[in-house]
A and B are shown apart, each in its own frame.
Chain A
């Protein structure tokens, strides 16, 4: 029941406020003044003489100031009311007169009372509106706060997760690198010792080679976990590509002292943002790939050049070229085919995947093809700074 009233009230309220403010306020004023006049007429015809019309008009003024906005209509209604009383409900009837004793005081007090009441109602109304407004604001603030809290919690969780991952990676890399370094180092001490027989010497050099390729493998695995899930940002910094390439070549030469790789520098200075350790790793992987799998260790070239807005590095060999499987996989940007994880090609699959992932994370391109004069060409380009993002 009360719900129905509430709905009705709500509906009336909306309809009422649909009327433009000025006609609405005038209408309200006219309506209530008419009612007061009508009630007072009835009262005066029943009681005669002394009447309570003043109270009726004050009530009308209160209602008018409640239903209109601002002071104006209330004050106007109180003055009109006082005039009505004077003209219609006081002797001499139907005429304006201030001659009766005490009448000016009564009339003035009625206007003052009406004005005060009107001011009070206006204030109450204003406060009510303010209260509603405040409540709305508080609620909005509260909701926003809730939302911010939720976001903060999510970010915190994410950063904690990234920190944990970083810690695990660091621990793993330390715990794998340290023993591998000491295995490789100890073996190289033994290799130079005069007491080792030639037969043992080959076994030792096998150990050394395996330890060294494990070191590379660990670096690759660490990089691929870092890049692949995208949670750890690249450590970008401006770097000279020729210095990175030179460093990569030095590393490769240390591992494969017998092979010949030529570095062909560009005249342009290629200074661009990259994660230098990762880019170095790409070059090391490509060179190692060429050395181990192309069947040619004599004519490998690493060429750097600028092509439009790309800084390009190209590793070319004169070996047996790419199988169509590898070619297709690189072209499609897919992981290397399973057959490449066999014994003879150990590490090639993961090496190339790492390269692709690292270059992709840099926003660069990675291609592989067979050269018309024989041999394979692996090429990657990194966006230079003047390239539109």
Chain B
């Protein structure tokens, strides 16, 4: 790595901000703490960080508003949300507004680090591909060939229905990112496909899991974000 990557931490609780900073510093990241939303925005413009950690419960402004402002910019910077355990609606909204990922309070250091690494890697990949879609994805021993419309698990073909394949394809294209139920439903079944219930998606997912011999307690390819959506692992 030529230069240290910079992470902006917008979090009003100093003790939490401090330990995240320490952990990130120990892992070779440069950190900038901001304790209010306004400070966070101005530090963002003056420092141009590579990633933003954003607490949604800030004292001076709504975290979602900051998210909207950052997402309105031409430069796409990965944003990871910090939110409380029981505020799922808020998390889903943040993800639908373009946040890349989230961590839930109380969280551990290793968790935050893993999410940051994944988000940065994804951003890097997007920059390299310049929007050109790849025609095959590889996740561990799983190969998803979009051109041939084929999924190979350890070299052997696994048969999926049309919709199941579309879900896997969508997750693979966005590997590393949490996709909300609504996002997936809209992409596979159209804007009214879900009609208020995501049962169809959940059942498809359960079938995919069975065909991939995935155990939700030891996800190898697809991680379940309970009550939020799914994420394809990217390493």
Interface set of A (CB-CB < 8 Å, partner B): 173-174, 177-182, 184-186, 188-189, 192-193, 215, 219, 237-240, 242-247, 249-250, 253-254, 261, 263, 265, 267, 269, 271, 276-277, 280, 302
Contact = CB atoms under 8 A, between A and B. Distances in A.
B217 A250 contact: yes
Interface residues of B, number: 37
B22 interface: yes
Interface of B: 13, 15-16, 18-20, 22-23, 26, 57, 84-86, 105-111, 197-199, 202-203, 205-206, 209-210, 215-219, 224, 226-227
Contacts of B26: 189, 192-193
B13 A178 contact: yes
B82 to A, nearest CB: 10
A192 B202 CA distance: 39
Contacts of A276: 226-227
Contacts of A215: 106
B216 A180 contact: no
Contacts of A177: 84-85, 105-106
Contact of B202 (A180, A189, A240): A240
B224 A186 contact: no
Nearest to B215: A263
A246 B197 contact: no
Contacts of B23: 185, 188-189
Given A269-B203, A269-B206, A245 B16 contact: no
B202 A271 contact: yes
B226 A184 contact: no
A242 B206 contact: yes
Given A188-B110, A239-B227, A276-B227, 18 more contacts: A173-B86, A177-B84, A179-B15, A184-B106, A185-B23, A192-B26, A192-B109, A238-B202, A240-B202, A244-B226, A246-B217, A246-B219, A247-B224, A254-B108, A269-B203, A269-B206, A271-B202, A302-B217
Contacts of B210: 267
B7 to A, nearest CB: 15
A215 to B, nearest CB: 5
Contacts of B110: 188
A258 to B, nearest CB: 15
